[in-house]
Structure 1
Amino acid sequence: MLERLDEIIRDIEQGWRSRRLLVVGDVMIDKYVWGEVSRISPEAPVPVVHFNHQSHQPGGAANVAMNLVRLGAEVLVVGYTGDDEDEKLLLSIVSDNGITARFVQCREFPTITKLRIVGGKQQMLRLDRERLGPRSAEDQQRLIDTSLQHISSCHAVILSDYAKGVLTPEVCQSIICAAREAGIPILVDPKSTDFSRYAGASTICPNLNELSRASGLETRDLDVLLDAAQQMVSKYKLDFLTATLSEKGIALVRSDRRTLAAAKARQVFDVSGAGDTVVAVLALSLASGLSPEIAIRLANVAAGVVVEKVGTVPIEKHEFLAALTPELALQAHSKVVSRDELAMRVALWKQNGERVVFTNGCFDLLHIGHITVIEQARQLGDRLIVAINSDRSVSRLKGPDRPIVDESARARVLAALGSVDAVTVFDDPTPLQLVFAVRPDVIVKGGDYNPETVVGAREVQSWGGEVRIVPTVEGFSTTRLIEKSKR
């Protein structure tokens, strides 16, 4: 379990929006033709794909940029394109997604495209349009100058290498030296087998095959490869090396030790773009001051989300946060949130199609009557919010001797219940403003209320929600418990 997960989630929700990252590398377009396969062609032993629709998505370094912007960051991407229609299409897509692009046009080279034909959820064929080889010295200098002029305003830099001719040793070293001088993390997603061009980076992020080729070891023995990785950390003056190990997880390798973040078992549909997601989450985590050990665990969670998708699809922030919330549910203090934090969590839940239930009360001296209402409320949806009156509010309602238990303790006890997903404290006479802020799908009260007397009922019904009155356990109330204790 991640320590300080509530603080990490708060930073993801709010802090990542203020991070600015530079991505330099091989930009391309991933095109898809989607269809269904029901027979084999009589002309040749190949499947016949019945066309349904087509789509396109930024690929390569542009997909890294897409992952970053979907996680909330401000992003600038730099790379080579051709002077063609695909360049215009790529520029349009990234601009529409809020990414700033500084493409260097090379007239003799087309914009790189990968066309995939998918039958059902199975990739049947890939057709690449590209021209490999070095660009002119003039084009290379334009790319270096464009990159260097933006480094000082960024919180981290990513070099996304797909071996298409962008990240030459001269380009890599110019950018790495500038980032180091600026004191910001620089991460490399490598393709070259010669890691010397990446020397001085904060980290290099190879997969097992890339690590094997770079080390010159034709082996799948993980211990042997990670031993070689430890030597690379010293040899290339890295802070650490981050190795993605497929179903085994992610290894963080330092010169004197290594750490493994194990992956959870997943149903894998497509690993396309998973490495882009890993490097994006690592970069944002390091740019936010998180330790590399925490960063690889977050990246592991994010990779698990994208491999369950078909095609090169960036992770969405709400998907990432939803994948983290099972761990969050085990930490009671993490469920106690402010109104603003609650509104963001509700937005996340609703983006995931979850039904949000709201109930409120003083909940002073928690008893079986309270528990019954909470459990019944939870059964009406996917997420339950419990709003409690502040100490001042309880005193106004119940008298100067109340509450018996202060608001922080009441909130923490409620948060420890498995049925509860969030607890918040309100100081207003009624929870009406809170209801407006979270717009629940269901509002629940217990006892002798009726829909006409429930605060917020009319408002919830106005946006299509419902009001439910659930029965309480007779003979149980905080007032009776106090009287009994006095007797």
Structure 2
Amino acid sequence: MSSPTSEAKPNLVNLSDVIARLCGAEVLCIGDIMLDRYVWGAVERISPEAPIPVLRIERETAMLGGAGNVANNLAALGGGGTFIGVIGDDAPGREIADIMADLTTINAHLLTDTDRRSTIKTRFVGAHQQMMRADVESTQALPASLEVQILERLTHPSGTLGAIILSDYGKGVLSDTIVRGVIEYAHATATTVIIDPKGTDYSRYRGADIITPNKKELMDATGLPAHTDEQVIAACTHLMDTCGVGGVLATRSAEGMTLVLRGQEPHHLKAQAREVFDVSGAGDTVVATLALALASGADSLTAAYLANIAAGIVVAKSGTATVSAPELSRALHHQDLDLAEAKLTELERAAAQVRDWQTQGLSVGFTNGCFDLLHPGHISLLSQARKACDRLIVGLNSDSSVKTLKGPTRPVQSEAARAAVLGALSAIDLIVLFSAETPIELIQTLRPDVLVKGADYTVETVVGADIVQGYGGRVVLAELVDGHSTTRTIERMGK
């Protein structure tokens, strides 16, 4: 299998549509629910009894953890569905039930095991630094009677279930019997099943559509290294081949994520976090976002892309946090602006990128213009240009160049503004500014496979056509959209 393709970003409009559809999508989550308790305080001295810090407690908070945090993320994103879990007959179990009851979009089935202690993770935090964690838990297998009750609750009478999550924290709820029964139910109902795994024997998840191990879990389960893109792909492929799962979304902390699906090219998604404050529960956010997006009709790459964005948001928060749909939308728009800026590059770097694309067997197109006030004619030209190649570079006239060509009142928008607008278009991969009257230097340096201009030119009058045709490239004349030009638009504005 080849190395990951360059990051394929879904169209912003499509992503916005997917986020809008998260509300109302339904997911079934089964797994190990727990209580995440935080004890916050200040550390001002060392204990006289032992060389340890003294935490002066100021406040305590509690929230759902483990599979409960998955349910919390589903609700925060606007989704709904069903949660099935097991608690003990104790005060923490009742506290878990009370918090779960506040998730109004989640239909919770919390079964009680009288022989089990509810799982609690208590984190002691001083000056925003986690000092210690204390756990209370039970990991024994469930009694057979409870396994039967869980499987009986799989029926989803509404018929709108879009995905199933198995959130395995190794506390005994997801026994082999439960995992096998859920996967069989998913196959029978053509429902996608996603597993956040635990342990090292992933063959017990055979038949799952996607599993979401982190890098350490991936290495532990395969015995293979996972430090580079190629190593991660090899490890994911090994899991798919030996464990019979349909795909792997490997979360890699600062290195982002890698999505490997059977029969498809792998995709690497760059990490989105600008600041990492707390990674607690980030995996829960990933699996919840992934499942909810798939349940809303998104393809696997789009769902993984949104999950990656969500992870970048949640690790910048304190504690076991969640992400909302509005936060996702804002992050996407900020990222789109960043991407637009990133597309503007120097000629030398653009030339290196062209060589890289061409080495991969991708055709590179080039077109140029002032693009002062973007109009439907421009959009049509750029759309036709992109259809003629795999990657498109736009040569953008600098402000001084536009002034020379169009007169002292132009451009209306600065080169930075024009580049930002062009960069937001998914059809364009790179933008290179040039100050000369023609883009001949760019064409000579970049050596594109396809040169595109409007049909108001002839092949003979297109600057650089002879150069491109000389080394075997081709010239494409794009059809024009009548009635649209920047000059006419400005004239109408002046009337």
TM-score by length of 2: 0.65
- Paired residues for 1:173-192 under 5 Å: 173-192=180-199
Tell me, yes or no, if the aligned pair for 1:115 and 1:126 is still in contact at 8 Å: yes
Cα offset, 1:480, TM superposition: 11
Cα offset, 1:418, TM superposition: 6.9
Aligned residue type for 1:49: L
TM-superposition CA deviations, 1:419-458 (whole Å, max 9, x none)? 9xxxxxxxxxxxxxxxxxxxxxxxxxxxxxxxxxxxxxxx
Q: Does 2:331 align with 1:323?
A: yes
Residue of structure 1 in register with 2:146 after alignment: 139
Cα distance between partner residues in 1 of 2:140 and 2:158: 26
TM-superposition CA deviations, 1:439-483 (whole Å, max 9, x none)? xxxxxxxxxxxxxxxxxxxxxxxxxxxxxxxxxxxxxxx999559
Residue of structure 2 in register with 1:209 after alignment: 216
- Paired residues for 1:88-167 under 5 Å: 88-98=94-104, 99-148=106-155, 152-167=159-174
Cα offset, 1:292, TM superposition: 1.5
Tell me, yes or no, if the aligned pair for 1:29 and 1:113 is still in contact at 8 Å: yes
Structure 1 vs Structure 2 CA RMSD = 2.8
- Paired residues for 1:393-472 under 5 Å: none
Tell me, yes or no, if the aligned pair for 2:218 and 2:226 is still in contact at 8 Å: no
Tell me, yes or no, if the aligned pair for 2:74 and 2:80 is still in contact at 8 Å: yes
Cα offset, 1:65, TM superposition: 0.6
Tell me, yes or no, if the aligned pair for 1:22 and 1:151 is still in contact at 8 Å: no
Cα distance between partner residues in 2 of 1:331 and 1:112: 43
Cα distance between partner residues in 2 of 1:37 and 1:314: 28
| 2:296 aligns with one of 250, 274, 288 | 288
Cα offset, 1:147, TM superposition: 2.8
Tell me, yes or no, if the aligned pair for 1:151 and 1:182 is still in contact at 8 Å: no
Residue of structure 2 in register with 1:73 after alignment: 79
Cα offset, 1:7, TM superposition: 2.8
Tell me, yes or no, if the aligned pair for 2:78 and 2:325 is still in contact at 8 Å: yes
Residue of structure 2 in register with 1:23 after alignment: 29
TM-superposition CA deviations, 1:96-124 (whole Å, max 9, x none)? 12122101110010111111111121111
| 1:312 aligns with one of 320, 325, 329 | 320
Cα distance between partner residues in 2 of 1:479 and 1:289: 40
Tell me, yes or no, if the aligned pair for 2:22 and 2:296 is still in contact at 8 Å: yes
Tell me, yes or no, if the aligned pair for 1:249 and 1:300 is still in contact at 8 Å: yes
Q: Does 2:256 align with 1:249?
A: yes
TM-superposition CA deviations, 1:30-64 (whole Å, max 9, x none)? 01111122222221111111211110000000100
Aligned residue type for 1:97: L
Residue of structure 2 in register with 1:42 after alignment: 48
Cα offset, 1:77, TM superposition: 0.9
TM-superposition CA deviations, 1:165-200 (whole Å, max 9, x none)? 011111011001111221121100001211111111
Change (3 A) 1:215 1:246: same
Cα distance between partner residues in 1 of 2:301 and 2:143: 41
Q: Which runs of 5+ in 2 are unaligned?
A: 1-7, 341-371, 374-416, 422-487
Residue of structure 1 in register with 2:281 after alignment: 273
Residue of structure 1 in register with 2:90 after alignment: 84
Give the 4+ runs in structure 1 shifted more than 6 A.
415-419
Tell me, yes or no, if the aligned pair for 2:225 and 2:235 is still in contact at 8 Å: no
Aligned residue type for 2:188: E
Equivalent position SS for 1:79: strand
Aligned-residue sequence identity (percent) comes to 37
Cα offset, 1:329, TM superposition: 4.7
Equivalent position SS for 2:98: helix
Cα distance between partner residues in 2 of 1:9 and 1:139: 41
Aligned residue type for 1:201: A
Cα distance between partner residues in 2 of 1:190 and 1:261: 20
Equivalent position SS for 1:94: helix
TM-superposition CA deviations, 1:396-428 (whole Å, max 9, x none)? xxxxxxxxxxxxxxxxxxx98979xxxxxxxxx
Q: Does 2:179 align with 1:172?
A: yes
| Count of aligned positions | 347
Equivalent position SS for 2:318: coil
Cα offset, 1:133, TM superposition: 1.1
TM-superposition CA deviations, 1:233-268 (whole Å, max 9, x none)? 233332211110111011011345421101135321
Cα distance between partner residues in 2 of 1:484 and 1:246: 54
Change (3 A) 1:43 1:151: farther
Q: Which runs of 5+ in 1 are unaligned?
A: 333-364, 367-414, 420-477
Residue of structure 1 in register with 2:39 after alignment: 33
